Amino acid sequence: MSDLTSPPAERTLILVKPDGVARGLAGEILRRVEAKGYSLVAVELRTASAELLGAHYAEHEGKPFYPPLVEFMASGPVLAVVAEGQRVIEGFRALAGTTDPSSAAPGTIRGDLGRDWGLKVQQNLVHGSDSPESAAREIALWFPAL
């Protein structure tokens, strides 16, 4: 019967970006995470340093949207969250919707709540780790004590 046992729960890093915090959507976003059945392991409101954001977005360094992305992410507080649950990495990406809020599906955070501001960087409300390796790296960056 071993094929019926659940895989171990995963953890992911979620960020409610400065646009989400400024628009008062942090509670609504956390509500959706909890309503899906994921547990909150850590939650912290903080304004990220350029150093932390540079490490977090290292894979995008050199891309045209990288400088405005780091500037935007440092422009105000973000809500950093570690959430836990079965397949939470994939599950939160599904809750968030695709990167561009204008084409994100209705029912998703970005599709329901995201706006297209016509800016150099997509102000798309949330970040979610995209793989177990990214999740481990990002959780260690944002919550080194975990």
Annotated binding site for ATP: 17, 65, 93, 99, 110, 124
Q: Is 121 in the site for ligand IDP (CB under 6 A)?
A: yes
Our separate counts of H helices and E strands in the chain read 7, 4
Judged by beta carbon, residue 4 or residue 75, the one nearer ligand IDP is: 75
Q: Is 56 in the site for ligand IDP (CB under 6 A)?
A: no
Judged by beta carbon, residue 55 or residue 121, the one nearer ligand IDP is: 121
Per-residue H/E/C for 78-143: EEEEEEEECCHHHHHHHHHCCCCCCCCCCCCHHHHHCCCCCCCCCCCCEEECCCHHHHHHHHHHHC
- Shortest distance in whole angstroms from residue 47 CB to ligand IDP: 17
Active site residue 127: yes
Q: Is 86 in the site for ligand IDP (CB under 6 A)?
A: no
- What Rg do the C-alpha atoms of the chain give, in angstroms? 15
Residues that bind ligand IDP (CB under 6 A): 65, 69, 99, 121-122, 124, 127, 130
User: Which positions are catalytic?
Assistant: 127
